[in-house]
Structure 1
Amino acid sequence: MKIDTDHIKLDSFLKAANLVASGGEAKIIIAEGAVRVNGETELRRGRKLRPGDQVEVAGECFVIE
């Protein structure tokens, strides 16, 4: 997924990529440990993602461009 800024927060990315329907849903799946960033489980919904970062959710992998 391509972003137009130097970073995007993890919860915002999940919404922009249509992986969740709301910020509340993003908060839940992040807290449950269902999201991995660069191969590691990420529990911070405010984690800043930058180009090159990889996000894994439900077996799907997305690369920030």
Structure 2
Amino acid sequence: MKITIKKYESKDEGKFINLISLCHEDEYLINIVNSPKLKFAYSAFFENELIGIIFGWTSSFHPYCTYFRIL
């Protein structure tokens, strides 16, 4: 079993939408990943299938905090 981790690329957005659906999350997460406030985003793949993602972003409300999400 080989899991590959790489920086998130916008070409994987369709796979990300599918992962959001599988995790029963809201689609607003796509807006965060495409936002200029995004700090980092990494994707985990198994046999070319997106199996996980982690990303972090900042907010104007708490500018000294970094929020993150793992799916």
User: Same-fold call, TM > 0.5?
Assistant: no
TM-score (norm 2): 0.34
More strand by share: 2
Taking CA–CA contacts closer than 8 Å with sequence separation of 6 or more, which of the two structures ends up with the larger relative contact order? 1
TM-score (norm 1): 0.36
